[in-house]
Structures are given as C-alpha cells and as structure tokens.
Amino acid sequence: MDKFTKEDLKELFEINQWPSISIYMPTQRASDTQQNSIRFKTLVQKSESTLSDYQYKDANKLLAEAKKLYNDIAFWNQRSDGLAMFISPESFKIYLLPYVFDELVVVTRRFHLKPLIPVISSNAHFYVLAVSQNNVRMLRCTHDSAEELKTEAMPASVHEFLKHDTDKKQLQFHTRAKEGGSGNRPAIFHGQGVGADETKDNLFRFFKDIDKGLQTELKDETAPLVFAGVDHLFPIFKNKNSYQHLLNEAITGNPDELKAEELKTKAWKIVAPLFRQEEQDAAKRYTDLRHTNSTSCELNEIISAAYFGRVDFLFVAKGVQAWGRFDDKNNKVVVHNEKEPEDEDLLDLAAVSTIANSGKVFAVKPPEVPDKGLAAALFRY
C-alpha cells in the first residue's frame, strides 16, 4: 500500500506534456485478484484506443510498462482498495491506495488528479488507534475503506514494551557470591508483585512510547485520530498524547474483538459530524459573502484565481469534467462544449491549483455545489 501526499500531487501537477494518461480503478482485496488484472487490461486498452483516435503513433511504446503488469501476479497480490496510474513520455507512476476509485481513463496534456483529492484532504480520512494489552493497531480510514498500517515506530503490545523497556521497575537484578566461596552465581531476574501504582506507572510509560511513535507515523498530518480501548485506558493515553487532532470521544471496549471494518464504522460515527461541520461552515461563509467580490461561481474567474493562489476554499463537482484550456501566460480560459485534443479538465486544474496554493477543496456531488454550478470559490483577496 502506498502513501500519497500533497508533494506527490504537486509533482504530478507540474507535468505538462502531451499525452498524459491517467488511469483509475477500484481493486479487489480477495485472494483471487485475476479480475483486477482483467479490469486493468481493459482500461489500458481504452487509453490505447483514445491515443489512436488522436493519431498518436507511439502508443504501444508509451504503454509498454503498463502492459507488463497484465500477468504480474506479485503486483496484483498487493492489497489495496484502489489503483491510480500516470503515464507520459517522461513519467510512469503507480499508486496502490486505500481509496475506492471509480473507473476512469483520461488522456490530456496534464494528469487528471481530482479523484486523488479525497486521499490527501484532511476532511476525507481519519485514523484509529486501537490499544489493548495484547495489541496496538493503527488504521487509516475513509468512509469506504479501512487500512491497517504497519507501525514499526510503536510497541506492538504491552508485553513487548515491558520486554524491551530498559526502565523495568518491576524487575530486580541480584548477583550473589557462593556461600563460603569467591565465585559468582548466575544473574537472576525476580519479578516483584505489580500493584496498582506500578501498573499505572507502566501504562504511563507505555503510552509515552506510543506517543513517540505517533509523532513519527502522523508527522505533518491534520486528520482526526480516534482512540479505541477499554474505559480506563483513554484518560491515561490523553495524558501522554501530543497529537493535536485526537478527538475527545473514543470507541470503548476491547478492540481485539473488532475487525478493521468494524472499528472504521464505529469511528466514522464519531468523525462524520466533524467533517460535515467543516464543509457546512465553508458553505455558510460562501452564502454570507455571495454577490460580493469575495466569491464567484464563474468557471473562467475561478480557474485564474486558483492558479495564481487567490482561492481560500473551493467547492467542485466530482464525477464531472469541464474541458478546455488555460493559457497562464495571457491569463486566458477557453471552455469547450466537447473535449478536443490536448484539452484538460478545468475543474481538475482549479482543484489541484487550490491545494497546491494551500487552499481547501471540497469535492462534492454536483447538486451540493453552492449556486448549483460546477464550482464555487471564496477568494482570499
């Protein structure tokens, strides 16, 4: 499973070369993944057909690396929820991600990146930290998926932590000389009875170690974190936690009894109101400033403002394309009713430009875009 960051998005966004092919597809996690290979082959063939329509003569060469994956069993045995692939004459990138993409093939001058916005947006994913005496599990979740992460920076359990902790207060080292002799007997570890205070002290040190791991695992993250564990563990964890986006409501009970999907479902009930509130607050700001110079639902104006860093937040219709071209040197936007060769999706351009310039993007269903257009923006100035 790969990680996709804003830096990855910016790197892909900067590639402006004809032809640039973007392929998205959902992937099955089942042991028999042949259907993934079949679906992928169909999408590659679709992109090849599109290149043929545009009379591009080097399609077979351009798609050679992709075609090598048709029968790559090791590749298709990797578990993920979605695949995103980007191909141009000078670039070939694949991402296996914890997100269920709709099938899509786009051939333009730029990579089509709008489907990746939920993957990197803090209002699209969240984390679950499930802690019991026997297990420490970290999940990266969206509304539709739950991926259990490898957390090498954190202890796997209380037992493992105590086993490797150099400050084990419950053990005492004794070295005794033989009675009547000068030799030494072997070193012996004696476990002292662990009372309530010592148990609490061990847990404090255990959660301090987990927090150190979180600083590594969630570096530069702003996504919510939900704790899962028995009642008395949460206050101790909160006391040692330094991650600023830990939520005050936890999943209570023994998390060992819950599968990843079940933990995700319980956590979603906690984080969903937070996600909705952020979007609702943005929509209200737009409504309050409607019909002023601070907002716009005109695509031409939004494209330019997003590209040059003026958009604070943007609502954009997902699953929809607006084809055309943007001449950044002359600040000119041309919109076409139907896709023409070398056109790009202007909604995609607006969304990715906004993110690249540290703005916020809400990819929503078309009816949920304020003013019922394809996009709506609030400007910084």
Angle at 370 between CA 364 and CA 373, to 5 degrees: 85
Looking at the domain assignment, is residue 261 inside a domain? yes
Residue 165 pLDDT class (50, 70, 90 cuts): low
Residue 237 Cα distances to 145, 179, 211, 254, 258, angstroms: 26, 48, 8, 15, 20
CATH number at residue 9: 3.30.960.10
For residues 192 and 233, membership in a common domain is answered with yes
Residue 14 pLDDT class (50, 70, 90 cuts): confident
Looking at the domain assignment, is residue 284 inside a domain? no
> Is pLDDT above 70 for 198?
no
Top mean pLDDT of 131-145, 177-191, 309-323 is at 309-323
Q: What is the pLDDT of residue 245?
A: 94
> Is pLDDT above 70 for 182?
no
Looking at the domain assignment, is residue 1 inside a domain? yes
For residues 261 and 301, membership in a common domain is answered with no
Domain range for 352 is: 289-381
The per-residue pLDDT of the chain, averaged, comes to 84
pLDDT digits (tens, 9 = 90+) for 223-245: 899 999 999 899 999 999 999 99
Give the residue from 120, 153, 180 where a domain finishes: 120
Q: What is the pLDDT of residue 167?
A: 45
Q: What is the pLDDT of residue 31?
A: 56
For residues 150 and 103, membership in a common domain is answered with no
Q: What is the pLDDT of residue 1?
A: 58
pLDDT digits (tens, 9 = 90+) for 41-51: 999 999 999 99
Q: What is the pLDDT of residue 166?
A: 46
Distance CA 303, CA 307 (A): 6
> Is pLDDT above 70 for 178?
no
For residues 37 and 132, membership in a common domain is answered with no
Average pLDDT score over residue span 131-139: 89
**Comparing C-alpha atoms, which of 196, 197, 198 is closest to residue 168?**
198
pLDDT digits (tens, 9 = 90+) for 71-122: 888 888 887 889 999 999 999 999 998 788 889 999 988 899 988 887 876 5
Q: Which pair of structure tokens corresponds to residue 264?
A: 């995700």
Asked if residue 306 lies in contact with residue 380, where contact means CB atoms within 8 angstroms, the answer is no
Give the residue from 120, 150, 174 where a domain finishes: 120
Looking at the domain assignment, is residue 299 inside a domain? yes
For residues 134 and 88, membership in a common domain is answered with no
CATH number at residue 234: 3.30.420
Distance CA 378, CA 375 (A): 10
Residue 191 pLDDT class (50, 70, 90 cuts): very low
Looking at the domain assignment, is residue 281 inside a domain? no
Asked if residue 379 lies in contact with residue 312, where contact means CB atoms within 8 angstroms, the answer is yes
Give the residue from 240, 275, 310 where a domain finishes: 275
Distance CA 185, CA 177 (A): 6
For residues 265 and 368, membership in a common domain is answered with no
> Which is higher by pLDDT, 364 or 176?
364
241-275 in b/e form (b: 16+ CB < 10 A) is bebeebeeebbeeebeebebeebbebbbebbeeeb
> What letter does residue 246 receive in the DSSP assignment?
B
Looking at the domain assignment, is residue 282 inside a domain? no
Q: What is the pLDDT of residue 123?
A: 57
> Is pLDDT above 80 for 7?
yes
For residues 113 and 138, membership in a common domain is answered with no
Asked if residue 347 lies in contact with residue 316, where contact means CB atoms within 8 angstroms, the answer is yes
For residues 142 and 266, membership in a common domain is answered with yes
**Comparing C-alpha atoms, which of 273, 356, 254, 344 is closest to residue 311?**
356
CATH number at residue 364: 3.30.1330.30
Total number of domains constituting the chain: 3
Q: What is the pLDDT of residue 60?
A: 92
Distance CA 213, CA 217 (A): 6
For residues 303 and 210, membership in a common domain is answered with no
Percent of the chain whose predicted confidence (pLDDT) is above 70: 87
For residues 167 and 204, membership in a common domain is answered with yes
> Is pLDDT above 70 for 189?
no
Q: What is the pLDDT of residue 169?
A: 46
| Partners of 324 in beta bridges | 335, 344
User: What pTM, to 2 d.p., does this model score?
Assistant: 0.65
Looking at the domain assignment, is residue 321 inside a domain? yes
For residues 97 and 138, membership in a common domain is answered with no
Looking at the domain assignment, is residue 148 inside a domain? yes
For residues 11 and 58, membership in a common domain is answered with yes
Residue 217 pLDDT class (50, 70, 90 cuts): confident
pLDDT digits (tens, 9 = 90+) for 302-320: 999 999 999 999 999 988 8
Residue 22 pLDDT class (50, 70, 90 cuts): very high
> Is pLDDT above 90 for 346?
yes
Which of 60-64, 256-260, 276-280 has the weakest average pLDDT? 276-280
